Amino acid sequence: MNSFFSRGPKYSEETIKEALNALRDGVILIDKNNKIIWSNENASKWLNLNDPFSQENIRAYFPTSEFDEFLSQSDQNSSLEAISPLNKSIFFSLQIIPLGATEKILVLRDITTPIRLEKVRTDFAANASHELRSPLTVIAGYIELMVEDESIPNNWKKPIEDLAKQSERMKSVLSDLLVLFQLESESRITDEEIVDLQAIVMAVRKDCMLAKKPPKEFKVDFKDSAVILGDEVKTQSIVNNIVENALRYCDKDGEISVNWFIDKAGGHLSIKDNGIGMEEKHLNRITERFYRIDKGRSRKLGGTGLGLAIVKYALQAHEATLEIKSELGIGSEFICHFPVSRIQIEQ
Ligand code: ADP
Measured from the CB, is residue 249 less than 6 Å from ligand 1?
Answer: yes
Residue 31: band (very low, low, confident or very high) from pLDDT cuts 50, 70, 90: very high
> What is the per-residue pLDDT for 207?
95
Measured from the CB, is residue 303 less than 6 Å from ligand 1?
Answer: yes
CA atoms 146, 151, 155, 158: torsion sign: positive
Residue 51: band (very low, low, confident or very high) from pLDDT cuts 50, 70, 90: confident
Across 322-341, average pLDDT: 97
Whether the pLDDT of residue 40 is over 70: the answer is yes
> What is the per-residue pLDDT for 75?
82
Write the residue with the smallest CA distance to atom 20 of ligand 1: 245
In the reported structure, the alpha carbon of residue 292 is separated from the centroid of ligand 1 by a whole-number distance in angstroms of 6
DSSP character at residue 294: S
Across 320-346, average pLDDT: 94
Residue 80: band (very low, low, confident or very high) from pLDDT cuts 50, 70, 90: very high
Across 128-146, average pLDDT: 95
> What is the per-residue pLDDT for 346?
62
In the reported structure, the alpha carbon of residue 278 is separated from the centroid of ligand 1 by a whole-number distance in angstroms of 9
> What is the per-residue pLDDT for 236?
97
Write the residue with the smallest CA distance to atom 25 of ligand 1: 277
Q: State which amino acid sits at residue 188.
A: R
Residue 168 CA to residue 171 CA, distance in Å, equals 5
Q: If we measure between CA atoms, which residue out of 249, 226, 229, 259 comes closest to residue 307? A: 249
Residue 253: band (very low, low, confident or very high) from pLDDT cuts 50, 70, 90: confident
pTM for the whole structure:
0.79
Write the residue with the smallest CA distance to atom 21 of ligand 1: 245
Across 13-20, average pLDDT: 91
**Mutate which of 308, 311, 333, 334 to test ligand 1's pocket (most atoms within 8 Å of Cβ)?**
308
Burial of 329 (C-beta count, 10 Å sphere; 0-12/13-18/19+): exposed
> What is the per-residue pLDDT for 165?
93
Distances (CA, A) of 66 to 114, 134, 282: 22, 41, 31
Residue 123 CA to residue 337 CA, distance in Å, equals 30
Q: Which atom of ligand 1 is nearest to the CA of 176?
A: 2
Q: If we measure between CA atoms, which residue out of 314, 196, 216, 307 comes closest to residue 260? A: 196
**Average pLDDT of every residue of the chain:** 92
Is residue 144 within 8 Å of residue 164, measured between CB atoms?
yes
Beta-bridge mates of residue 95: 79, 107
Measured from the CB, is residue 245 less than 6 Å from ligand 1?
Answer: yes
Whether the pLDDT of residue 302 is over 90: the answer is no
> What is the per-residue pLDDT for 7?
64
In the reported structure, the alpha carbon of residue 245 is separated from the centroid of ligand 1 by a whole-number distance in angstroms of 6
Residue 4: band (very low, low, confident or very high) from pLDDT cuts 50, 70, 90: very low
Whether the pLDDT of residue 6 is over 70: the answer is no
**Mutate which of 248, 255, 256, 273 to test ligand 1's pocket (most atoms within 8 Å of Cβ)?**
248
Measured from the CB, is residue 140 less than 6 Å from ligand 1?
Answer: no
Measured from the CB, is residue 286 less than 6 Å from ligand 1?
Answer: yes
Whether the pLDDT of residue 233 is over 70: the answer is yes
